[in-house]
Structure 1
Amino acid sequence: MIVVCTANAIRSPFVENLLRQRLAEKGVERVELESAGTAARTGLRAEPGARSLALAMGFSLEEHRTRPLGDRMLRSGTVVLCAERVHRRVVLGMRPDLVATVFTVREFARLAGAARSTSAVATWPALLSAVSRARVLDRHVDRSEDDIVDPIGQGHAVWADFERSATSAVDAIVEATSDLFIPSGTGHVPVGPMTRREYRESTRTPR
């Protein structure tokens, strides 16, 4: 799973590492998570405000270094969570075949929560299918609510809005997905999320 913003200095690393922290609290520690920026420079530190906010939330961005989003990161079936709708358009411009697995963070949180509350979703691929179908039928009025505001150079109120929207979205995603990574009755946490093809191969009965 890749989280994407513009510079990879605030929003995407914050969401990436908050997701990792929240999933670990649920016992999920091997989900593959990374982040990148559509216009990022390589090797810069996270913005000071993001580093301070991360420490207040109980994790660190001190080791994070920015990197640009590249074609090689976008493998078939890759789930991409974007800070804004404009980032989704950039990703789909690079890989239009990923249309079923590219969302904004807040959009995915909203649709995944709805899918879990209205249907019997028991696997990660099934959840992705349900969310992708739900987006086609989605009639959410204010699409701007699916964006996470960029707080760079902004005052306390905007940073507070960023923290609130990012944290609530991450919490909703974790609530909707964490149990899908832990097989019932085992202590094993699989590497994931898996693509649909990988899931089919992993569940295929040997002949």
Structure 2
Amino acid sequence: MPPTRILTVCTGNVCRSPLAAVELQHGLDAVSPGGFEVTSAGLHALVDDAFEHRVGALARERGLDADTHRARQLTAQMLTDVDLVLVMAREHLQPVLQLSPRLLKRTFPLREFARVLQYVAGDPALDAAVPADRAERWAWLRKQAPRLRQRVPVRQAERNDVIDPYRRPDAVLEQMADELLEATGAIVAWERRHAERAGTVPPPQGAGG
């Protein structure tokens, strides 16, 4: 069974999108090992650069792999087999769709997508309709999310964005971390909820007789 392929996108691919990618990959691997492949790219990537040093330090503090990342420029080829694109800000939506118009219903701001999942979890009828199988679950979600996004509007449009911390003060970095990690945490929590319901979450490492 092929993994669900998620691509995170920001501007330079050295702060927001790689942090979101490693955070999601780590969290989803713990819940559904081998079920997800999360990568990242930038619309104006600082090609081959590593994590911005402060963001890399944040990732390492969280036990994430921050040493192998190298920034990549987003191309149409990268979007060919992607199941879901999560952009870090509204300004990234149109450039992604210009490269791949077919992804119109599969491209979301990260924070908006997280709110969609929280909405599903809070609606008993929708929650009960979520398939138990991982691949079927995410195929179902891809069909439902485009219409459900209309049910999670925000008064302030910027609440769909993760602020860009690049070359900005540490306070902005902290805001970025709060916004991004809340959203990635909600996505992982949604997958864990349904994997546990299906009885497919592996035992913690070291557990057993």
The counterpart of 1:141, out of the listed 136, 140, 155, is: 155
Structure 1: segments with no counterpart, 5+ residues: 189-207
Q: Residues 137 and 29 from structure 1, CA distance in 2 versus in 1: closer, same or farther, beyond 3 angstroms?
A: same
Q: Residues 47 and 28 from structure 1, CA distance in 2 versus in 1: closer, same or farther, beyond 3 angstroms?
A: same
Q: Residues 49 and 112 from structure 1, CA distance in 2 versus in 1: closer, same or farther, beyond 3 angstroms?
A: same
CA contact (8 A) 1:115 1:130 kept: no
CA contact (8 A) 1:79 1:102 kept: yes
CA contact (8 A) 1:124 1:180 kept: no
2:21 aligned with 1:16: yes
Correspondence for 2:144: 130
The percentage of counterpart residues that share the same residue type is 29
1 CA distance for matches of 2:14 and 2:200? 37
- Number of corresponding residues: 188
Of the structure 1 ranges 177-186 and 162-171, higher mean CA displacement relative to structure 2 is found in: 177-186
Correspondence for 1:38: 43
Of the structure 1 ranges 111-120 and 140-149, higher mean CA displacement relative to structure 2 is found in: 111-120
Query: What is the RMSD of the two structures over their aligned residues, measured on CA atoms?
Result: 2.1
The amino acid of 2:74's aligned partner reads: L
2 CA distance for matches of 1:137 and 1:154? 33
Correspondence for 1:26: 31
Q: Residues 137 and 96 from structure 1, CA distance in 2 versus in 1: closer, same or farther, beyond 3 angstroms?
A: farther
Could you tell me how far 1:95 is from its partner in structure 2? 1.3
SS state at 1:32 partner: strand
User: Given the two structures, how large is their TM-score scaled by the length of structure 1?
Assistant: 0.83
Structure 2: segments with no counterpart, 5+ residues: 1-5, 132-136, 203-209
Of the structure 1 ranges 145-154 and 25-34, higher mean CA displacement relative to structure 2 is found in: 25-34
